Amino acid sequence: MKKIETSEAAVKNSIRNWLNKHQCFRFAMGGNFMGGMPDTIITIRAGVAVESYDDKPDTAFIDTHIVVGIECKRPGKDATDKQKAKHEELRAHGWVVGVVHSLDELKKLLSDHGIKLIKN
């Protein structure tokens, strides 16, 4: 029996469907728009409550976003050298960037960075 290979498109579709269920803002770069950019970019709203000290207000809420770059590859494949260089550049600017081969790998990437998606 011939082994069925998972295509990159199948990996992307699985991840896109999961992100849609979690109502993430995401967009796909598509093609060679900006050489080396991850396939999919998502932003995750991350609010932080801060307790007061001295004469400051009791609490403050900081509303920010985490930017995640997702490079989808079929199992056994890796990012190109150009992509790896761009990923390092994005990480230097505070992005979370990872190469994933499945939805489970994306979930692990997010978990490893303390990112939890909450379905609204």
Query: What's the CA gap between 62 and 50, in Å, rounded?
Result: 8
Whole-structure pTM value = 0.72
Widest Cα–Cα separation across the chain: 72
In Å, how far from its chain's centre is CA 45? 12
Q: Return the SS3 of 89.
A: helix
Q: What is the pLDDT of residue 118?
A: 66
pLDDT in tens, 66-94: 889 999 999 999 999 999 999 999 999 98
**What angle, rounded to 10 degrees, do the helices at 8-21 and 103-112 form?**
50
Domains plus CATH for the chain? 13-112 (3.40.1350.10)
Query: Tokens in use for 41?
Result: 């970019």
Helix H or strand E segment including 60: strand 59-72
pLDDT in tens, 48-70: 555 555 555 555 555 677 889 99
